[in-house]
Amino acid sequence: MTADLFTTNNVWMMLCTALVFFMHLGFSLLETGLTRQKNTINILFKNMFIICAGLLIYFTGGFSLMYPGEFNGYLGFNGFGLPLGVDGVSIDYADGSYTYWTDFIFQGMFAATAATIVSGAVAERIRLDAFMLFSVIYVGLIYPIVGSWHWGGGFLSTMNSFLGAELETDGFYDFAGSTIVHSVGGWAALIAVVLLGSRKGKFSNEGRSLAIPGHNIPIAVAGVFILWLGWFGFNGGSVLSADPALTSLVLVTTSLSAAAGGISAFVSSTLWFKNYDVTMFMNGVLGGLVGITAGADLMSPLESILIGLISGVIVVVAVNLIDRWKLDDPVGAIAVHLFCGIWGTIAVGILGAKASLDQFLVQFISISIIAFFCCVSAFLILFTIKKTLGLRVSNREEMEGLDLHEHGMDAYADFGLNEH
């Protein structure tokens, strides 16, 4: 490993960090566009809070919790702050792939994503203080603990000894976080939506699902394009070096899956609902991106297209299913991040370089363990908040808008046609 290569690797990782940071703008715009104008300030405030608080909390203890070094495989911690400091800037830390600083800031950008996913699903009705409290705990504790089990070298990555079995596999595999990031957020979103209840006017008295159209589709589309761009860093950086073969393959599989996801979502929703719905197209692209994330470095281009095509159909079916279950997810976060996250992680056992029955079983068991842990912890946190602080804003506040009551501001002062 030469110093030049070390520098190149590190520059690529910092570029990817910047791209993942940019995804937070993508999420902000997507959520803003798919909800109503009276709650815009609230959405933006939550997204600003998540990245700022998320980074600070991840600095404080999250990073050490997620990458504790040598530990028992279940729970480890190697100190507050960034204990390694300047000892981690040499070529020896991570075999010349990146420095300790880069490691922290790249992972820190990831961490806040899990809470952002929840933000969209609970939009337009959750109390701001309740959401902030929840996201601090979730990003500070739950996300790093789950992450340590796989990326930190914990028990999921040494599945054979955990199960006491002789499986032909290296353990659970989740390249860039279909499960570790997206489903972890998705499970919390699901629990939050169940505990919160639906927005007023989402279901008729007879229980029929009603449409609450988002107020700014151009902004939401801009969000999707920005997220796609950010995903080059999300997946491309997860190679954890500037390896030419792997990084370029990952960018190809990521984009092909996104494109295939968009096309299959728009075709299936058009066949089903008889209209060209751009919001389904958008969710399909995101579903394809989430779906490929677990195996972006394992798939051939053709396999990545297949993963995307299936992701797109899953998104459309899931959005409809969630409606039928009387759950209200304004932006489709559960369909995209949870359903496609599960599919993408399972797909590692079916398609690509690691495909085998044993791998499939390990993927399935690991997803179940993570699902159980995330659901239980999200439930405990949210239920406690519900019984103490309260989760939901008052009826009046919801009708007149969170912007007016929580913030006392208008998103579009001096401009506006609709009162609702």
Indicate which single residue of 227, 280, 351, 402 sits in contact with another protein (rule: CB under 8 A).
280
Mark the segment that binds another protein (CB under 8 A) among 25-33, 93-101, 275-283, 366-374.
Answer: 275-283
Q: How far is the CB of 307 from another protein (least distance, A)?
A: 23
215: number of Cβ within 10 Å: 21
Q: Are 264 and 309 in contact (CB under 8 A)?
A: yes
Q: How far is the CB of 266 from another protein (least distance, A)?
A: 12
- Separation of CA 28 from chain center: 13
Indicate which single residue of 319, 340, 351, 385 sits in contact with another protein (rule: CB under 8 A).
319
- CB nearer another protein, residue 74 or residue 272: 272
CA-based torsion, 352, 311, 287, 181: positive or negative: negative
Indicate which single residue of 209, 243, 300, 360 sits in contact with another protein (rule: CB under 8 A).
209
Binding of residue 279 to another protein (CB under 8 A): yes
Binding of residue 332 to another protein (CB under 8 A): yes
Q: How far is the CB of 275 from another protein (least distance, A)?
A: 4
Burial letters for 227-244: b for 16+ Cβ neighbours within 10 Å, e otherwise? bbebbbbbbbbbbbbbee
Alpha carbon separation from 178 to 61, 71, 81, 342, 367 (Å, rounded): 23, 24, 27, 7, 10
Binding of residue 277 to another protein (CB under 8 A): yes
3-state secondary structure at position 203: strand
Alpha carbon separation from 95 to 91, 98, 374 (Å, rounded): 6, 8, 33
Q: How far is the CB of 280 from another protein (least distance, A)?
A: 6
Measured CA to CA, the distance from residue 245 to residue 252 in angstroms comes to 11
Q: How many residues bind another protein (CB under 8 A)?
A: 18
Burial letters for 89-104: b for 16+ Cβ neighbours within 10 Å, e otherwise? eebebbebbbbbbbbb
Chain positions 8 to 37 lying near another protein, rule: CB under 8 A, are: none
Binding of residue 316 to another protein (CB under 8 A): yes
Binding of residue 275 to another protein (CB under 8 A): yes
Site of interaction with another protein (CB under 8 A) = 209-213, 269, 272-275, 277, 279-280, 316, 319-320, 323, 332
